[in-house]
Amino acid sequence: MISLRGVGKSFGGFRALDGVDLEVPAGRVQGLLGPNGAGKTTSVRVLTTLLEPDDGDALVAGHSVRTEPHEVRRRLGVSGQYAAVDDKLTGHENLTLVGELYGMRRREAKARAQELLEHFRLDTVPRGQRAGTYSGGMKRRLDLAGAIVARPPVVILDEPTTGLDPRGRRDTWDAISDLAAGGTTVLLTTQYLEEADELADSIAVIDAGRIIAEGTAGELKAQAGGSRIDVLLVPGAPPEGALRAVAEAAPGAEYDQRAHRITASAPDGPETLRRVLGRLAAAGEPVAEAALRQPTLDEVFLKITGTPGAARLPAEASTGRSDS
């Protein structure tokens, strides 16, 4: 349904896309995971016909972005990283506008707009209220609604939750899950492994304009060494004894001085965590917090490329959550 074939794009001397190949079958939710500057947005801009590739071609529902961009646009819904809603228009007017530009009649577009406002729970605000007064999460949902006004078979979402608060992220995730349940083929870009894990059937990892790994979330996590354990030490406590205790029970134990935290691999998941806690208790080492978590995108990167991702990720994305 979506197909990128050797897509290359340079800006001046910078190679933003360096031969990207990706196949997304119909009905699948494909995650495109990578740090800032990896080529996610450029890929999206090529697929949405906003940017012409230098090399290769991209197909959407069998139509080339190069030779049949209009056919591509008719089958595509897009929602961007920066919600491109018109602040001066109400939610209803925004969606009606998009509907009319998809070629719907005004009355049809208005009815569809109303339907989508209800679906995305945007009908709770007064009808005359402008989109400029919406919260970040509401704006993003409005933008998302705009992407599916014409019920396109393919929807492309560029970092749909970046910059949202946890509540807004949850709401947006629900909306995307609904979309996928309806059979729409979705390509979504994200910086968060957790998000790709939650939403995508399959994940492609992109770095420096190339796809460097592909697979399910589980496969990628396994490649990065599976689950991880975080042990946060009590403030002021010396780390040596605790580090020794953790290392006896789990491989790859490391001490992060800035966070005053020990991190290790958890090949046996909860069982490893239990062993680590047992060792710590036996050694009489006090611990502030201990948790089992998924590897972060950074750790996946480190494992696959041997170098950390191009950008450090916001901590809230993957820490502070226990999956046990």
Q: Which residues bind other proteins (CB under 8 A)?
A: 48-52, 70, 73-74, 76, 78, 80, 82, 84, 86, 88-89, 93, 97-98, 100-103, 130, 146
Distances (CA, A) of 155 to 74, 204, 267: 11, 17, 37
Q: Quick one: 15 or 74, whose CB is closer to other proteins?
A: 74
Task: Assign 3-class secondary structure to the chain.
Answer: CEEEEEEEEEECCEEEEEEEEEEECCCCEEEEECCCCCCHHHHHHHHCCCCCCCEEEEEECCEECCCCHHHHHHCEEEECCCCCCCCCCEHHHHHHHHHHHCCCCHHHHHHHHHHHHHHCCCCCCCCCCEHHHCCHHHHHHHHHHHHCCCCCCEEEEECCCCCCCHHHHHHHHHHHHHHHHCCCEEEEEECCHHHHHHHCCEEEEEECCEEEEEECHHHHHHHCCCCEEEEEECCCCCCHHHHHHHHHHCCCCEEECCCCEEEEECCCCHHHHHHHHHHHHHHCCCEEEEEEECCCHHHHHHHHHCCCCCCCCCHHHCCCCCCC
Taking the complex as a whole, the smallest distance from the CB of residue 241 to other proteins amounts, in Å, to: 54
Q: Quick one: 59 or 205, whose CB is closer to other proteins?
A: 59
Distance CA 106, CA 111 (A): 9
Strand partners, 185: 154
Taking the complex as a whole, the smallest distance from the CB of residue 81 to other proteins amounts, in Å, to: 9
Q: Quick one: 47 or 313, whose CB is closer to other proteins?
A: 47
Q: Quick one: 96 or 296, whose CB is closer to other proteins?
A: 96
Q: Quick one: 49 or 161, whose CB is closer to other proteins?
A: 49
Taking the complex as a whole, the smallest distance from the CB of residue 26 to other proteins amounts, in Å, to: 20
Q: Quick one: 80 or 168, whose CB is closer to other proteins?
A: 80
Taking the complex as a whole, the smallest distance from the CB of residue 149 to other proteins amounts, in Å, to: 10
Taking the complex as a whole, the smallest distance from the CB of residue 84 to other proteins amounts, in Å, to: 4
Taking the complex as a whole, the smallest distance from the CB of residue 20 to other proteins amounts, in Å, to: 18
Sequence-ordered list of residues with C-beta below 8 angstroms from that of 12, at least 6 positions apart, any chain? none
Q: Quick one: 98 or 179, whose CB is closer to other proteins?
A: 98
Taking the complex as a whole, the smallest distance from the CB of residue 171 to other proteins amounts, in Å, to: 21
Taking the complex as a whole, the smallest distance from the CB of residue 50 to other proteins amounts, in Å, to: 6
User: What are 18's two structure tokens?
Assistant: 């360096």
Taking the complex as a whole, the smallest distance from the CB of residue 140 to other proteins amounts, in Å, to: 13
Residue whose C-alpha is closest to residue 33's, from 157, 135, 116: 157
Q: Quick one: 156 or 196, whose CB is closer to other proteins?
A: 156
Q: Quick one: 86 or 115, whose CB is closer to other proteins?
A: 86
